[in-house]
Amino acid sequence: MPEKVGVAVVGVGFVGGAAHVPSFKKIEGSNLIALCARTETRVKPLAEKYEVKYVLDYDKLLDDPKLDAVVLSVPTPLHFDSAMKALRKGKHVLCEMPIAPRIEQVRELQRVADKAGVILMPVLNFRFAPIYLKIKEMIKAGAIGKPIAIHFREFIPTKGLAEQWPVGSWAWDIEKSGGYPDFTLSVWSLDMFRWMFESEIRDVEWMVNYPPIAMYGGIFGYNTMGVIKFANGIVGSLHYGASATPSAAISRLEVYGDNTNVLHAINVDKILLYGDQEKPQEFTVEVKGTKVWGHRQLDEHFIDCILNKKKPQVTAEDGIKAQEIAQKIVEHIK
């Protein structure tokens, strides 16, 4: 393997164009050799901006001798075939989540990756996000004693959902995507909880409400609530929502400890530690751009694993674990 990994980002939309392309352009061990898309619309200006070539033919891209790894940020229905082709050509694959709509497909890809001796790694970036790393570090340092309960709320604005995944898009087709957007968008935090509390989610019960929001073309402003129990006894309640105006969008994790202290992580930058003092201690996490949600750090880790023949910290098996819990939401869709 040369000093740099030849990388191509395939799919340059919401996450590929905004997160993976700028990340791989900057990462030291990465040589971003191409962007790949189906049409020129988004890829041409992006390729000009980052001074990299673009290709519209994925099969041709895979024949490029400079290519060592692909980053698949195409829509989920294309993941399985795209990953399979790349793995069969001996390319490492960093794949957006869910790796494939069905778990048996993910296992099949892992078998092919193992046979080819290459990495298949999922983009489970929340566990690389500085705010959650800080919360985990504070818990390890004893800030709340032993964690006993969590509450998590993630509300995305209906407007944003309608722009990214409008009615009729692949994300609302269970066959193509594995479930509605609440299924897809829950996997990152479900993985983060397993990582943070170092325990499996043993039980989950979901309740769902899919109200059509007329002002956004009848898109479902999902309200999906879960009650979970980890193998180590921690209990939790989760609320994934998409029926709010942009100013009400929030991501908030609360962790309760057995020394009666409480930690809150609000959005990506604010941590509150409720202890003995009248007011909580406040901490600010200062991070910008593609590092905020951990994309850049995860992309760096992918390159490091290839260059230094390391086993990734996050594996397809982690993807499967998160997907198993998320899939139980789908059972409620009628």
31 binds ligand NAD (CB under 6 A): no
Q: Which of 32, 109, 30, 110 is nearest to 64 (CA)?
A: 32
Which of 31, 76, 224, 290 forms a contact with ligand NAD (CB under 6 A)? 76
58 binds ligand NAD (CB under 6 A): yes
Which of 11, 157, 178, 221 forms a contact with ligand NAD (CB under 6 A)? 11
Segment contacting ligand NAD by CB under 6 A, of 14-22, 153-161, 201-209, 283-291: 14-22
Peptide linkage before 211 cis (omega within 30 of 0)? no
Residue 184 or 261 with smaller CB distance to ligand NAD: 184
Which of 25, 26, 29, 38 forms a contact with ligand NAD (CB under 6 A)? 38
CA-based diameter of the chain, in Å? 63
Residue with the shortest CB distance to ligand NAD:
13
Tokens for 49? 């901006």
Q: How far is the CB of 150 from ligand NAD (least distance, A)?
A: 21
From residue 204, how far is each of 207, 223, 225 by CA, in Å? 10, 16, 10
Residue 87 or 262 with smaller CB distance to ligand NAD: 87
Check residue 276 and report its DSSP letter.
S
Q: How far is the CB of 188 from ligand NAD (least distance, A)?
A: 6
Q: How far is the CB of 74 from ligand NAD (least distance, A)?
A: 4
**Please, are residues 70 and 8 in contact by the beta-carbon 8 Å criterion?**
yes
Residue 156 or 228 with smaller CB distance to ligand NAD: 156
Secondary structure (3-state) at 230: strand
CA distance 194 to 197: 6
Q: How far is the CB of 276 from ligand NAD (least distance, A)?
A: 37
Which of 5, 36, 118, 201 forms a contact with ligand NAD (CB under 6 A)? 36
Segment contacting ligand NAD by CB under 6 A, of 35-43, 114-122, 258-266, 319-327: 35-43
Strands annotated E in 141-269: 147-157, 201-209, 212-213, 219-220, 223-230, 235-244, 250-257, 262-266
Site track for ligand NAD across 177-216, x = CB under 6 A: -------x--------------------------------
From residue 190, how far is each of 201, 317, 331 by CA, in Å? 8, 13, 17
Which of 13, 160, 211, 275 forms a contact with ligand NAD (CB under 6 A)? 13
105 binds ligand NAD (CB under 6 A): no
Beta strand 281-284 pairing with 120-122: unpaired
Secondary structure (3-state) at 189: helix
Rg of the chain (C-alpha set): 20
Q: Which residues bind ligand NAD (CB under 6 A)?
A: 10-16, 36-38, 42, 58, 73-76, 78, 96-97, 123, 125, 164, 184, 293
